[in-house]
Amino acid sequence: MTTTTHDTTIQEAGTGLDLGKRAPAASVVGIIGIIVCLVLMFSGGEAMKIQMMGSYMFGFIFWMGITLGFFGLSLLHNTVRGNWSVAIIRILEAGGGAVSFGAMFVLFLPIVANLKAMYAWADPAKVAADRILKFKAPYLNPTFFEIRLVGYFVLWAGLAWFLRKSAMRQEVSKDFKLEAGRSSWGAVGIVMFFLTCTFAVTDWVMSLEPHWSSTMFGTWSLISACLGALSLAVLIFCVNAHRAPYKDIMRPDLTKDLGNMLFVLTMLWGYTSLSQFLIIWNGNLPETTSYYQARSSNVEPITSNFTWGAVGLICIVGQFFIPFFTLITPRTKKTAMNLAKAAGWIFCVHIVDIYQYIIPALPGGRGPSGPATPALLTDALAFVAIGGIWFFVFSSQAKKAPLLPTYDTRLQEAAQHAH
Amino acid sequence: MSHSNNADPTGTYAIVAEFTSAEALLTAAEQTADAGYREIDAYTPFPVHGLSDALRFHDIKVPWLIFTGGLCGAFFGFTLQWYTAAVDYPLSVGGKPFNSLPSFFPVTFECTILFSALTAFVCMFGLNGLPKPYHSIFNTPGFQRASIDRFFLAIEVKDPKFDEKETKAFLEGLGAVAVSEVEH
């Protein structure tokens, strides 16, 4: 069994998939982009500094969400040992591994260096003048923030490193005990993941608007991140479906499973988004409605003809209704080509979603009342720069292991039965 | 020809072949469908992946009925609230407008789910012709093993291609362990 698989891999090595191919290009784009970001952030004019910081925040939170989503989905795979996720587990491990967390930690440092500019609670002058910030100070203060930050990354990177190492050992020894061990640790990991991520999102994003709070926020952000991450993983998998080794496992049932998982997360995203909105809308209290106030039709993001309300509408229709009706159709999930289009769409709308999630919360805001320089340019720059680094890490990690686990041949067997 | 048999409740119902494995049944179902038989059915002790494809079973009535049921539910749930809260008995709740879309979401959503589920339940029974106290397939010798370890494939008399001798010979050629003519 294994020898046959091995032979085919060698035979088709010429046409085989090499996810590491684009690593050098990604690293060049990433490094140049980050340097430009840092130059603007630390030596530009005062307005430019704040604007670039905001753009950088957007790029960072987006790719951090993707990293966490990859990690979370790999925890899910390790826990339940799902059939469908075997197809993408190596993609998930490559993008949500210890090295990715290391890179994201380093990329967070410019924000840590500028905490005062980003977060009102980090500015002693603002805290002194604000009763609410004073009350929250025992938790929301720079020192504790940094300690927690290190703690999250240590936990995430540590578990990711441990799970990946166990999988690599199983590649060699084929010992099922390792897999059973990962299953137990994965279950513990999911609990840890939800707790730490809730705290992390509260620290990094919710505290951008320190007067506002929502208990749904952590779960909602996490599901949104997992949706974005899964759409990217499925996209990478599906556009390469015709290459070895993926083409040996492709069958309608597999794309159906992956599509259904995207469907589930789409519905969860809709469910949690609506829940948060409904509770806040019903309560109708000034300190909680501020989140939706800042993202309503009264506020303009880029030009005076376009409001955040319109961006929100794009998210409601584009992130929920369109994927919902697309993914409920069996035809979408039948071929990798169709599923790739659906996943690509979700990924693109996820960018808009994160944009309207971060940008209105930033100090200085955007649009006519905010920074004068076209903010979209710096937003795009930070997004591409951090994405470049992310893809560099992803590609170089993906290269290091077989794209499908050699110890788990359930998908190959299923594909053989189907023929 | 034997077409007059269709209406005769005492004649043959189907010719049923018995197989020992899901794989054998899948191959046989594939070949039977390829041979042009359409009124065919299979009986297995557990769900067999790909069997409905092999039988060329393609029926999308239920999903569309459920979808319609869901739409009716959404319409019902929304109208109920809108009529009671904004038309028939307007009550100011927390100073919000009488016709407040967000406050109608939960009930509208629940009604959508309830109506879809009920439609699915009723349609599944109705379209399958359930409850059905008597079914001719149970006249097959040894049919109780369809819920234990045997796999059955039936070609029914109402199939236009059905021919007593030919169909029987055809099924025997598919590697069945037993082929029997089943009475109504």
What is the phi/psi pair of residue A132, to 5°?
-65, -45
Is residue A328 in a domain? yes
Q: How far apart are CA A367 and CA B7, in angstroms?
A: 77
Instruction: Give me the number of domains chain A comprises.
Output: 1
pTM: 0.85
CA separation (Å) from A28 to A45, A63, A335, A385?
A: 27, 17, 34, 9
For residue B93, the chain A residue with the least C-alpha distance is: A282
Lookup result for tokens 């509260």: A202
More confidently predicted of A117 and B108: B108
Is residue B72 in a domain? no
Is residue B83 in a domain? no
Is residue A160 in a domain? yes
Q: How far apart are CA B89 and CA B41, in angstroms?
A: 56
pLDDT at B5 over 50: no
**Contact between residue A313 and residue B134 where contact means Cβ atoms under 8 Å apart:** no
Copy the structure tokens of residue A185.
């640790």
Which strand (E) or helix (H) includes residue A100? helix A98-113
Is residue B103 in a domain? no
Position A150 scores a pLDDT of: 96
Is residue B164 in a domain? yes
Residue ranges making up the domain that contains A262: 22-418
Residue ranges making up the domain that contains B170: 2-50+151-183
Is residue B176 in a domain? yes
Q: How far apart are CA A187 and CA A89, in angstroms?
A: 16
Choose, out of A271, A321, A331, A417, the residue to mutate when testing the contact with B (most B CBs < 10 Å): A417
B47 touches chain A (CB under 8 A): no
- Residue B143 has a CB neighbour count (10 Å cut-off) of 18
Is residue A14 in a domain? no
Is residue B58 in a domain? no
Is residue A385 in a domain? yes
Position A65 scores a pLDDT of: 96
Is residue A11 in a domain? no
Q: Number of helices (H) and strands (E), helices first, in chain A?
A: 18, 0
ipTM of model over 0.90: no
What is the phi/psi pair of residue A302, to 5°?
-120, -60
Position A366 scores a pLDDT of: 62
Position A10 scores a pLDDT of: 39
Please calculate the CA angle B53-B59-B61 and round it to the nearest 5 degrees. Answer: 155
Lookup result for tokens 């891999």: A9
What is the phi/psi pair of residue B176, to 5°?
-75, 150
> What tens digit of pLDDT does each residue of A193-241 get?
999 999 999 999 999 988 998 999 999 999 999 999 999 999 999 999 8
Indicate the average pLDDT of chain B. 85
Q: DSSP labels for A314-332?
A: HHIIIIIIHHHHHHHSGGG
Q: Which residues of A fall within a CB distance of 8 Å from B106?
A: 278
Q: Do B103 and A282 touch (CB under 8 A)?
A: yes
Q: How far apart are CA B67 and CA A113, in angstroms?
A: 54
Position A12 scores a pLDDT of: 42
Distance from CA of B133 to the nearest CA of A (A): 34
Number of residues that this document lists for chain A: 419
Instruction: Give me the number of domains chain B comprises.
Output: 1
Indicate the average pLDDT of chain A. 88
**Residue A138 — pLDDT band, cuts 50, 70, 90?**
very high
Is residue A342 in a domain? yes
pLDDT at A250 over 90: no
> What tens digit of pLDDT does each residue of B39-61 get?
888 999 998 888 888 888 877 88
Q: How far apart are CA A48 and CA A312, in angstroms?
A: 26
Choose, out of B26, B48, B49, the residue to mutate when testing the contact with A (most A CBs < 10 Å): B49
Q: Do A282 and B106 touch (CB under 8 A)?
A: no
Lookup result for tokens 């072949």: B17
Q: Which residues of B fall within a CB distance of 8 Å from A284?
A: 94, 96
Q: DSSP labels for A60-96?
A: HHHHHHHHHHHHHHHHHHHHH--SGGGGTHHHHHHHS
More confidently predicted of A88 and A302: A88
Q: How far apart are CA B5 and CA A19, in angstroms?
A: 64
Residues 65-94 of B with CB under 8 A from A: 94
The CATH number for B35's domain is: 3.30.70
The contact set of A with B (CB < 8 A) is 253, 274, 277-278, 281-282, 284, 417-418
Q: What is the mean pLDDT of residues A271-296?
A: 89
Copy the structure tokens of residue B99.
């016709």
Q: Do B105 and A278 touch (CB under 8 A)?
A: yes
Is residue B169 in a domain? yes
Q: What is the mean pLDDT of residues A38-49?
A: 84
Is residue B120 in a domain? no
**Contact between residue A258 and residue A340 where contact means Cβ atoms under 8 Å apart:** no
For residue B101, the chain A residue with the least C-alpha distance is: A278
- Residue B106 has a CB neighbour count (10 Å cut-off) of 15
Position B51 scores a pLDDT of: 85
Position A17 scores a pLDDT of: 79
For residue B95, the chain A residue with the least C-alpha distance is: A284
For residue A417, the chain B residue with the least C-alpha distance is: B23
**Residue A418 — pLDDT band, cuts 50, 70, 90?**
low
